[in-house]
Structure formats: C-alpha cells, structure tokens
A and B are shown apart, each in its own frame.
Chain A
Amino acid sequence: MDYFTLTIWLVRIGFVICLYLFFFVLLRALWRDLRATVAASGRSLGRLVVVASPEGMPQAGSSIPLDAITSLGRDVNNSITVDDAFVSAEHAVLTFRGRAWYLEDRGSTNGTYLNGQRIQGVVPLGYGDELQLGQVRLRLERERTS
C-alpha cells in the first residue's frame, strides 16, 4: 500500500469521524434539552392569559396557571375571582377531562362566550381559544415549558 492510498483512506475515515463528531455534540445537546423539558413538565395543564379586563381584577396581561377544575366568577370562593360588574358570582367552570379542556356556564346572568359565541351546555375548547365573561376576555394557552 503506497503513501497516497493510505493518506486518502485516512482522510476518508477522518470525514466519517467528523460527521459523527457533529452528531455526538448534537445528540448530547438534544438529550440535555429533552431532560430539561421533562423536568419542567407536569407542573401545569395550561394557563389563562388575561387579554382584557377593564376593572383590573384580574390584571390584564397577567397569566394564571390552571388546575384540572377551575371555577370562575365574582365570588371570592372561586379558583379565579373575576371582579367585573357583568360577571355572576358563580359564572363558569373550566375542566380538564382526559385529554381536552371543557368549558361550562354555571347559569350566569350574562352568559359565557367562546370565541365570540355564547355557549350552551358543555363545550370543548382548544389552546388559543378565547373566552369572555362579562367584560373580561381570557385566552387559554399551553403552559410554557422553557
């Protein structure tokens, strides 16, 4: 085997080693990222972002983590107290059942709206949907994992 053949063989092997070095660094980073995400997950099922709240309670722009059953209304015994003149004491309830969120009106005076439409009975809702109680508008979002 002459000098040239040996050199070119080594260069070829070097190319493959370089490719796999790239993968080694890449996979290590992906693995760490995955571990960090797993560690951070399971904290919350979702959150409500307050889009508009003229009375200031809850504060517009704030975000509220949700439990599997979250009741909304003007009464202080609700999970989220919505202090708005057009909101009933026991207004609506958000539930996470199995794998989706559901919204139910609890016989409020002014109704609960999902994406601008007044709801009847229990309706499913997805992340990104907007609900409105009185003058307060809230958006359901997935919990940030990063």
Chain B
Amino acid sequence: MSVIVGVPVERPGAITSTLRRWGIRPRLRNLELLLLLLAAAALTVGWISLASQQAGRVTTGDPSVLMVYVGVLLVIHAAFVITGRRTDQVLLPVTGLLGGLSLLLMARLPQGLATQDLGSITLGLAPLQLFWLGLALAVLAVLAIVVRNDDWLRAYKYTWAAVGIGLLLLVFVLGDPTNGARLSLRIGPIAGQPSELLKVILVVFLAGYLAENRTLLARASTRLGPISVPPLPYLLPMLGMWGIALAVVIVQRDLGAALLFFSVFLTLVYVATRRRAYVILGLALFLAGATALYFLFGHVRTRVDIWLDPYVDPLGSGYQVIHALYSFGRGGILGTGLGAGLPAVSGTPGDLPAIHTDFVFAALAEELGMLGALAILALYGVIAERGLRIAVQAADDFRALLAVGLTMVIVIQAALIMGGNLKLVPLTGITLPFVSYGGSSLLANAIIVGLLLALSDRGVEPPPPPSPRRRFLSRGGSR
C-alpha cells in the first residue's frame, strides 16, 4: 500500500516538532495532492471553455467562484496533511472533481433557477452551490479528521433508528408538498429534506443490527416451501423495512427514496449473510409491493407510464424525459461544449424543468458528450471501488457493513438517477450525489464520504495493554 498511504515527513523541523508535542504527526499525501492538482487543471480548462463560449472570445471570464472552490479543496488537503491520519487519498479528489463539474454546470445554467436574498445582494445559482459545496466539504473534512472511534455509532443503534423514524414521522406530519412529493421540512428560513439524512442513519442502524445478528440470520431453521428461511423473529426487521419503504411511497410520495432504502437494505442483508434466499424473498416483496402500488396510486402509475412511453403526452408529463433524451442525442461523442448546449434545443435557456437537480446528468452529457458522461460514471465507479476496499480491509463486521452501506447509498443513488435520465428505469426524484444543486443532498453525501474516510484509517489499533499497576488492580476483579 505504498501508493495510497503517504510516507511520514522525513526531517522534523521546528514546526513539526511542535506539532508532535501535541500528538500530531504530519504525513504527506502525495497522491491526493497530485490528483487534486490534475482535477483543478481540468476544471480551469473547463472554466475557460465555458467563459469563452459565453463571451464569444477567448477569455477566462470571472474565475472567482472556481478559485474559491479550488482553494477550499487545497485547504482541506493541507488539514489532512497536518493532522496526519492514514486515510484514503482518492476519495477527496474524486468528490472534489464531481463538485467542480457541478459548479461548472451551475455557473452555466441561468442564475435565476435558485436565488437567496441577503440584504442588498442576491445570490444566484453558482454562488449558492459554491456555498453549499464549501459547507459540505467542511463537514467531510471535520468528520474525516475528528472521528477516530465508532462506538457512538455502534452502541446507540436503536437510538439512531428511533431518530430516523422520528425524522420520517416529522416529515409525514409537517412536510411541505413540492411537485406532489412531501419531502421538505421548513423551520423558519431554512428548508431541508430530512430523508437525505435518513439514509445515513438507516445505514448506521442496519450495520449495527446486522453485525450483531448476522450469525443468527445466516443459519436456516424454518422451512417455507422450497426455500429455508431463518427463524421468523429475525425476519421481522426485513418486513419492517419493506413497510417503511411502502409508507415512504404512499405518504411521502417519494419513489426514489423508497427504492434507495430498500435496495441498500437488501444489499446489506446479502453482504452480511451471503444467503441468496433473502435476496429472492426481498425481490418478491418488492415486486408484490410495486405491482400493488401501480394499481392503487396515480403518482406511481404516471411515473411508470412515462417510462414505458413518454411520447403519449410529449408536451405534458413526458416533456422532461423526451427533452433529456434529445440532450443525450445532441451531445454525441464529444458534446456541444460547455455553454453551447441546452438553449438551442428548446428556445429559452433552462426550460427543461428541474435541470439543476434531477436532470444534471442529461445537461452534462449534452455539453460534455459521451466522453464526459462516461467520465462521470467512472467517478462513481471509483467511489464504489474505494468504498468496497475500505469495507474489505475493515477490522470488524460493523465497520465493514457500515462502509458497504454508505458506499451503496451513493452508488445506488447515482445509478437510479442516471438510469432515470436515460429512460432505463422510471424517473425518480433523486439527486445525483455531489453534482445536483441542493444543500441537504450535498451535506448528507458529504457526511457519507467523511465517515468512509474516517473508516479507511487503519492506524486505529486495539486499546494499549494495561500498565503494570492496572494489572495488579484488575486481578480478581475480572471474574
């Protein structure tokens, strides 16, 4: 692992020796720095491309937004170097590049898509996204540096589950309906989507529960027709999860979140038990639930009908999906170039609804082409690889399951919304992690990557052996 884990600083100078006295050992992270610089170079070229296209002459435009963003990334890198944990060196540059692509797109889209008034000045889309990205990266860095112990996650798993269910109920009762989905919770001026946070809490609970009960779940004892299933009491959480997913669809009208919860849950159960029977059972439950919902609820039926044939109502319900498909077609292999895309498709710029949240992938694929779209796919692929590697190397089952679950949340979200944009699966209102506009989604995904980084530190050793005096006292007390 000489590549991923940096080498310690060779010659301790005056500063490093001072730091060492506080128990901090700086550790160079060369790969991370190299990747960050390459990402910054790519983003700068992209920025020049965008600004020149918009101005009609070769110019760098106003690079302040991009410079602030690259500055934030480098500050976080410096913080990682100084604190010297042996965390993963790939996740920060990959996340940073995704956020940077998001920033390029937000600077390119009409700034009026999201605005926030701050006294006399009004912030547009790009500055707002920069603010949220900065906040998200700060959260990520703090978690990656500070979290050295997972007892607070492990020991209180039922408390976390209670918090999650409470959050869900709060949204059920107090939520603001937007686009027919009851997602956001408004407390004073701040609106947030608690279901974003819920998916992190859910993974923490499931990892704790499964790590504790996996050996019981893996043993078959009850026979149900041709397949043998574990003792029935241990199946209850599974049915409970299914119920929660159904409730989210019915009450909250949020298909995406329900699909995400259930697929993350099935993945974790399979990873914990290696029993295919669970997956088959889960898929059967999913099919039964999906069929029932299709016939019972209009909003589910609409989504599926659009997916099957959007051209039935090309100017109404099928409009978004059709125009997303046009975007992919127009992009071709090399793309139209940043700033040269969407307005040409349909008169006014940004008239594809939810272009900055649900359809960012279509927008980027049009302007960067297939090569750009594949690059974005590959970035999520790299996140998946790193997350699963962290899981494989984890010292115990809880950490391994936690890493798998957190990784899967990001990867399944990305897969669901990219598939939805491409009309591969029914479109669900899920965000593309780190690329879509939106504070709650950015913060939740930053928490995930921050925890993954903290989990990747394998320098955390078991507690030190007791000192001779402690040994004397503990005699007789241990039995």
Contact = CB atoms under 8 A, between A and B. Distances in A.
Contacts of A14: 45, 49
A17 B97 CA distance: 14
A8 interface: yes
Interface in B431-479: 458, 462-466, 471, 474-475, 478-479
Pick the most buried of B31, B34, B49, B392: most chain A CB atoms within 10 A of its CB.
B49
Given A8-B58, A22-B38, A135-B478, A61 B215 contact: no
Given A8-B58, A36-B2, A86-B479, A52 B397 contact: no
A32 B3 contact: yes
A32 B3 CA distance: 7
B253 to A, nearest CB: 37
29 contacts: A4-B57, A4-B58, A8-B49, A8-B52, A8-B53, A12-B49, A12-B334, A15-B338, A16-B369, A19-B371, A19-B372, A21-B38, A21-B42, A22-B93, A29-B90, A30-B90, A36-B3, A40-B1, A52-B466, A86-B479, A100-B215, A123-B215, A124-B215, A126-B211, A128-B396, A135-B479, A142-B394, A144-B393, A144-B395
Contacts of B462: 49, 51, 61, 63, 139, 141
A123 to B, nearest CB: 8
A57 interface: no
Interface string A34-69: 001100100000000111101010011111000000
A29 B42 contact: no
B464 A61 contact: yes
Given A8-B52, A30-B385, A141 B396 contact: yes
Given A22-B97, A128-B397, A60 B466 contact: yes
A47 to B, nearest CB: 10
Sorting the interface of chain B by its residue count into under 10, 10 to 19, 20 to 34 or 35 or more gives 35 or more
Contact of B378 (A7, A23, A56, A125): A23
B393 A12 contact: no
Main secondary structure of the interface of B (DSSP, over half): helix
Contacts of A62: 465
A125 B274 CA distance: 15
B205 interface: no
A25 interface: yes
Interface string B42-62: 100110110011001110000
Interface in A48-106: 49-52, 54, 56, 59-63, 86, 99-100
Interface residues of A, number: 54
Contacts of B475: 54
B368 interface: yes
A119 to B, nearest CB: 12
Interface string B380-424: 001001000100111111111000000000000000000000000
Interface string A97-120: 001100000000000000000000
B76 interface: no
A29 B385 CA distance: 12
Contacts of A13: 334
Nearest to A34: B389
Contacts of B211: 126, 128
Given A11-B45, A23-B375, A30-B382, A18 B1 contact: no
Contacts of A128: 211, 395-399
Nearest to A41: B392
A8 B274 CA distance: 53
Contact of A36 (B1, B35, B219, B474): B1
A82 to B, nearest CB: 14
B333 to A, nearest CB: 10
Contacts of A126: 211, 214-215, 396-397
B459 to A, nearest CB: 10
Interface in B202-260: 211, 214-215, 218-219
B31 to A, nearest CB: 5
Contacts of B396: 126-128, 141-142
A123 B216 CA distance: 10
Given A26-B93, A124-B219, A145-B393, 14 more contacts: A7-B58, A13-B334, A26-B382, A33-B389, A51-B463, A60-B471, A61-B465, A123-B215, A124-B218, A126-B214, A128-B396, A137-B478, A141-B462, A144-B395
Nearest to B335: A12
B94 interface: yes
Contact of B46 (A15, A60, A86): A15
B279 interface: no
A11 B49 CA distance: 6
A52 B53 contact: no
A139 to B, nearest CB: 7
B4 interface: yes
Nearest first, the 3 closest Cβ-Cβ pairs linking A and B are A128-B396, A61-B465, A18-B42
Contacts of B368: 15-16
Contact of B458 (A4, A30, A144): A144
B290 interface: no
A36 B45 CA distance: 34
B39 interface: yes
Contact of A127 (B46, B57, B395, B465): B395
B97 A16 contact: no
A142 B97 CA distance: 33
Contact of A15 (B38, B42, B378, B466): B42
B147 interface: no
A46 to B, nearest CB: 10
